[in-house]
Chain A
Amino acid sequence: MNHDRAFQKLMEFYDGELAASEAGEVRSHAAACPECSNALRSWKEASEAAGGLGSLRAGPDFAVRVMEGVRGKDLAPADFTRFFQWKTAFALGAVFLFLAAAILRQEAPQGEGADPEVVSVPPGAESMLFDENEFGREEFLAALFEGGEETFQGG
């Protein structure tokens, strides 16, 4: 194996990512190559320095605190999802009812809180029944109470 190829594979060799046959070739080359040996040494230094992080341990109450948080959720994840869906449906239902009530209130203001001055009769409805100026009302009433087709026709 030439140097370029070996150097390209060197880090994979260092990390144990190469197949045995290829690893053997890289090892043979690196043993005789100062540049590859130096690179391997420098990575070993980096690994040893990073090893300092390995001393890091979670505090003694770490798991206890996480589990307090888990219990605060009170439900297993699957149940929690179902609970959330139920809550969402409930909230949407409440919003719908609120909107429906508001619309009904707008359409029918005679109920509690409505203005007593407002009369909910369509405009002109009265005059449709009895218009003082409308021709025939007096005559119609006279004919009705006094009788006789002739009287009515005379209008």
Chain B
Amino acid sequence: MGSEPDDIEIIRSVVRGDAEAYAVIVRRYQDRVLRLCFSILGGMDAEDAAQEVFLKAYDSLDRFRMEASFSTWLYAIAYRHCLNLLDKRNRRKTESLDALKEKMGERADSLAAEPERSGREDAAAAVRPLLEGLSHDERAILALRELEALSYKEIARTLGISVDAVKIRLFRARAAFREAARSRNFPRPETV
């Protein structure tokens, strides 16, 4: 019984031309990347975004330094991709809301304020509103620490910030998240 090949072995195979080996990487990281995308994007289109992250990473594999941590590199791609998506989404929202306001006047505001519906009915969807008060950085830091158990150093490398900045933002994120959970009487896992 041989053990599973590590990330670097697989990536070397892919770069040498064995594209099918990339499926092992995708299966290994799909849930983690999806959770990060979900946390940053607030659920919207998280699965599509996660798939795009893997395709982007595939395109950039020849630029990956083999001595680095693949997971950190992948999370960094996911983080930047989600920020780009949010940026595009905000621009589209502003443009379409402006157009709608021109057409419909004040009623457009109330329509725009309606919550977006998600088809996913699980505990993750219930957590989504708790993330709303957090900045995108704070969401990413919270997810990378609480779900992926990355160290402060790894989070700092992933987001391109200092370790001190990670500590400050994680402190704020936890406080805001805990407050949101309390104010919504969010059920704690052991009481569910």
List A contacts of B22 (CB < 8 A). Answer: 66-67, 70
- Contact yes or no, A78 B188, CB < 8 A: no
Cβ distance A115 to chain B, nearest Cβ, rounded Å: 52
Size of B's binding interface in residues, CB under 8 A: 54
Number of A-B contacts (CB under 8 A): 136
Q: What separation, in Å, do the CA atoms of A46 and B120 have in the docked complex?
A: 22
List B contacts of A31 (CB < 8 A). Answer: none
Taking chain B's interface residues, is the majority helix, strand, or loop, or is none over half, making it mixed? helix
Q: Which residues of A, 43-93, contact B by the 8 Å Cβ criterion?
A: 43, 45-59, 62-63, 65-67, 69-71, 73, 75-81
Which 10 residue pairs of A and B lie closest in terms of their CB atoms, listed nearest first?
Answer: A52-B123, A50-B146, A56-B124, A52-B127, A58-B30, A46-B178, A49-B181, A76-B17, A46-B174, A77-B61
In addition to A12-B152, A50-B146, A53-B127, 9 A-B residue pairs with Cβ atoms within 8 Å of each other are A43-B178, A48-B189, A50-B127, A53-B123, A56-B124, A58-B30, A67-B22, A73-B55, A78-B62
The interface of chain B, by Cβ under 8 A from chain A, is 14-20, 22-23, 26-27, 30-31, 34-35, 38-39, 47, 50-51, 54-55, 58-62, 120, 122-124, 126-127, 130, 142-143, 145-147, 151-152, 167, 170-171, 174-175, 177-178, 181-182, 186, 188-190
